[in-house]
């Protein structure tokens, strides 16, 4: 029996495993099995929590197709909630090692429960805009790395976008041999941005924390927003701030536990 906890950040849901003492085999295959919404637990992927020599904990995340991602913004907030509420950590300032580097977390707790988490996501790495041809249409995209690859594009009427048809073509565009995450953004106001996301390896999800950070970076650089904004995703809003002093992006949002269980 494999004990797990299902958690979510704005509906971006993952199965969490405590691997601080032992680790099951074949994590990519396990991610596929657990993520299946008909025959498994159902999730956008799998997140495993390990000891770390560089930080308080180490996080590995696997997408629903078994591919390993460098980082997950919604997922890392839930890691903070998990380790604090499970008694693996007794501080509200934590560091978590990821494939995108060590991230610093500030847990906002009340009565022993973590409600929201602020994550220092580090410095973004934007690249010059480029034009892609998808389905016979030219799209201007702004590439931004936030530890993992994103491209951001702007349009009106994002709610009506046929993302299931468009998303895979952006993800697997020849310009991105390692595939990419794509954010489709509608500017509501300089401090409010609405986005939908197609995540590499998982498809459309209700939220993407790293994607929201990439959107704020691209929007600020292109004059569409200021350096702080609420990014509205299908699962809710994230508060994103790009600090002038250290050039780091800070993300604040909720983390929730859905249920715990056992899997054969």
Active site residues: 72, 208
Instruction: Provide the 8-state DSSP code for 245.
Output: T
Distance CA 191, CA 252 (A): 15
Distances (CA, A) of 125 to 14, 50, 150: 26, 27, 10
Distance from C-alpha of 258 to C-alpha of 65, rounded to nearest angstrom: 22
Residue 235 and residue 208: Cα distance in Å, rounded?
9
Q: Which residues pair with 50 in a beta bridge?
A: 58
Per-residue 3-state assignment (H helix, E strand, C coil) for 166-229: HHHHHHCCCCCCCCCEEEEEEEEECCEEEEEEEECCCEEECCCHHHHHHHHHHHHHCCCCCCEE
- CA distances to 24, 47, 75, 183, 229 from 14, rounded to whole Å, are 17, 6, 7, 20, 26
């Amino acid at each position: 029996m494999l004990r797990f906890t299902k958690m979510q950040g704005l509906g971006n849901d993952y199965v969490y495993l405590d691997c601080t003492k032992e680790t099951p085999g074949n994590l990519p295959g396990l991610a596929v099995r657990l993520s299946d919404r008909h025959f498994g637990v159902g999730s956008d992927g799998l997140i495993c929590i390990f000891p770390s020599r560089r930080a308080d904990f180490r996080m590995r995340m696997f997408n629903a197709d078994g591919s390993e991602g460098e980082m997950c913004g919604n997922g890392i907030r839930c890691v903070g909630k998990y380790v604090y509420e499970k008694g693996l950590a007794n501080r509200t300032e934590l560091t978590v090692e990821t494939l995108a580097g060590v991230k610093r977390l500030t847990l906002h707790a009340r009565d022993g429960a973590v409600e929201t988490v602020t994550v220092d996501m580090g410095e973004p790495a934007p690249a010059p805009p480029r034009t892609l041809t998808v389905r016979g249409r030219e799209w201007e995209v702004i590439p931004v790395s936030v530890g993992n690859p994103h491209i951001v594009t702007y349009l009106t009427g994002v709610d009506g976008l046929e993302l299931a048809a468009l998303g895979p073509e952006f993800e697997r565009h020849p310009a991105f041999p390692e595939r990419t995450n794509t954010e489709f953004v509608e500017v509501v106001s300089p401090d409010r941005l609405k986005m939908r996301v197609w995540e590499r390896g998982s498809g459309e999800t209700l939220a993407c924390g790293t994607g929201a950070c990439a959107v704020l970076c691209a929007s600020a650089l292109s004059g569409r927003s200021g350096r702080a904004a609420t990014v509205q995703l299908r699962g809710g809003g994230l508060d994103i701030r790009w600090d002038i002093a250290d050039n780091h992006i800070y993300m604040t949002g909720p983390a929730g536990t859905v249920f715990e269980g056992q899997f054969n």
